[in-house]
Chains A and B, each alone.
Chain A
Amino acid sequence: MGMEWYIVRRVAWAAIVTFIIVTITWGLMTAAPNPQVQQAVTQAAMDGENPAEAEERMEAQLQLDRPLHVRFMDYVVGVYTLEWGWSNTRNQPVTAALVSALYYTVQYSVPWTILTVLIGPIVGVYSAANQYSWRDHAATGVAFFGYAIPNFFFGIILLLIFGVQLEWIPIVYQTGVPVFSVQNVIQLTIPIFVLVTGSIGAIMRVSRNEAAEYANADFVKTAKAKGVSTYRIYARHVIRPTMVPLSTTMVGYLLAIFTGSSLLVEVVFGIPGLGRTLYDAVVAQDTNLVLGSTLFFTFVATIGNLLQDLVYTVLDPRISFEDR
């Protein structure tokens, strides 16, 4: 009881949330006029045919003439069986388009997330341990710099310096290079660097402030009086409670950057990832692909929030599961 039951309920809740989101997207899509039908109607009108007939024909072809609940069921089944429709602009199934985009997004997101999650808290706790020293001030300066400068702007500047002036990195992202190759590392360094500087600042500040609070806690004094070394005090006694509030901030924050900044960075650096795909789909009015990308981001966010809650409960033993 307790934790297991809580996890079951939390997972069930995440499933319900995704279902609600799927339903809302379907509602919006059904309420909006279908571009293909409209196109057929316009075409018919221009060709001098009967627009109403053309509309019916197109609706029948697209199976839009069936009752709403049948269409809804079909759609829901489709979403959960990963039949997300056909992308007109890419001429491939939406899922295939997303998978190929994901392939590029993962290449920079994974190193970016790992670096942020590792460096952010460590530098933050280090700052807290050396409060008001020049190292602390330096870290604070870097944090505010990364926080304040817009990612895409910073990306363009770096691209100008390293791509155009110094010619160290290709100006346009090379999709042909193997994932684990020096060229790939070189071309991903700058986008990852831009994203890390953007995300790490907030994480550093939160962990520094939390850790500074715990550094003066009574239990830290107890540990010191036990003879525990300063390093171990921070590595064990301070980091652990710091991670509790931090885990909450971190997941939400990374998700926000993932959905927002990654798009800008992909556009700036020409990486054909998820953000770029969504952007192109919106511009080209490829409805299915827009929906698919949106659903994907929603699922990522829901799963991220789920993980965040689970991590939270594991980290802080004081949480009572009964009343949540």
Chain B
Amino acid sequence: MTDEPLLSVEGLTTEFDTDNGVLTAVDGIDFEIPRGETVCLVGESGSGKTVASESITRIVPTPPGEVTGSVRFDGQEITSLSESELREIRGGRIAHVFQNPQDALNHCYTVGWQIVEAVQTHEPDTSEEEARERAIELLNDVGVANAAARLDDYPHEFSGGQKQRVMIAMALVTNPDLLIADEPTTALDVTVQAQILNLLEELQEEYSMSILFVTHDLGVVAQIADHVVVMYAGKVMERGTVEEIFDDPSHPYTRALLECLPGQARSAEGIPGTLPSPIDPPDGCRFAPRCDYAVEECTAGDQPPEEPLTDTHAVSCVHYQQGYDPSTVKTEFTQEDGTVTGGVSGD
């Protein structure tokens, strides 16, 4: 194993050609996923986090989408790969789990058929029986009770949580290095959510995978993340380790998100305003129209460059540039019960 991150993304941009103009869903983002660790991509819906996660192996539809920038996976540039080379990576070394397990499995085929398809796509020589054996093992592994008997059941005969387990089993078929999980628990009941999160943490150990976890839920982030990348309107606002993000949140957007957590000052109303249009984004900082600390410089030029705070922590806000005072944005957090703190505890 080397020190080189498993995945490093630079200037990743995803644009869609629409009738109303070019929609820039992801606007030149950088991030890295260290080996064996979990990186959370956080943001409101519409922030571009899902599109970013689906641009890595280019499963966003192209056209109308167009993905540019650099994605290095295990030392190899994968943006220049052909579609058939990418297919080997998809579901091979990089696997996906999606948000809505209700529709993520094809209702016309048994779950066994769909897992066997995943096996045989990547190992065409595997016989039907072997593939089924493997499917049973995997289903056992992800906690589907009575796996052998359930193999020939159709998706509608499974509960939402079980379907998500099936999806996870299907993702593990090839023992991937990276699992990209897009809001895998959002559509599930709270108790099931916790089970699936625990399962993912266990499997990460067992299969020594890295995980890119896409979510809007900071509670989930606190539970599973090693690193956090905060996205807003297609741009990265702040990045850091999970401790840095929760104990020393520095970007006004990150701080606003944290204030919306249960028990915090804004838990009831959320952040006022809405996301800017991805077709014609505002000049300067994308967050400026909703930011409490916006100054004149925030609305000119492009998104402020990322200012490093530590080796791992960086923030894109003018108040961290030379000649500004970061303490203007680092006001204290007021909790609902009136307690005042400098950060939000990670757990």
Contacts and interface: CB of A to CB of B under 8 A. Distances in A.
Interface stretch (B83-91, B199-207, B226-234, B310-318): B83-91
Given A317-B156, A318-B154, A318-B156, A226 B106 contact: no
B107 A222 contact: no
A66 interface: no
A226 B91 contact: yes
B105 interface: yes
Interface in B94-108: 95-96, 98, 100, 103-108
A237 B96 contact: no
Interface string B237-279: 0000000000000000000000000000000000000000000
Q: Which of A218, A226, A244 counts the most B-chain CB atoms under 10 A from its CB?
A: A226
A223 interface: yes
A224 B103 contact: no
A114 B87 CA distance: 35
Interface string A219-241: 10111111111000000110011
Contact of A241 (B87, B90, B106, B170): B106
B107 A226 contact: no
A319 to B, nearest CB: 10
Contacts, number: 73
A227 B90 contact: yes
A223 B170 CA distance: 10
A216 to B, nearest CB: 8
Contacts of A315: 108
B108 to A, nearest CB: 4
Contacts of A228: 87, 91, 117, 121
A324 B156 CA distance: 18
Nearest to A319: B156
A233 to B, nearest CB: 10
Contact of B108 (A221, A229, A241): A241
A254 B69 CA distance: 52
Contacts of A236: 109, 117
A53 interface: no
B112 interface: no
A225 B95 CA distance: 7
A221 B98 CA distance: 9
Contacts of A224: 59, 90
Which 5 pairs across A and B sit closest by C-beta, in order of nearness? A227-B91, A225-B96, A226-B91, A218-B103, A219-B106
Interface of B: 54, 57, 59, 84, 87-92, 95-96, 98, 100, 103-109, 117-118, 121-122, 154, 156, 167, 170
29 contacts: A219-B104, A219-B107, A221-B54, A221-B59, A221-B98, A222-B104, A222-B170, A223-B117, A224-B59, A224-B90, A225-B57, A225-B59, A225-B90, A226-B90, A227-B89, A227-B91, A227-B122, A228-B91, A229-B84, A229-B87, A236-B109, A237-B106, A240-B106, A240-B109, A241-B108, A316-B107, A318-B107, A318-B154, A318-B156
Given A219-B107, A241-B107, A318-B156, 20 more contacts: A218-B104, A221-B59, A221-B98, A222-B96, A222-B105, A223-B106, A225-B57, A226-B117, A226-B121, A227-B89, A227-B90, A227-B121, A227-B122, A228-B117, A228-B121, A237-B106, A240-B109, A241-B106, A244-B108, A315-B108
Interface of A: 217-219, 221-229, 236-237, 240-241, 244, 315-318
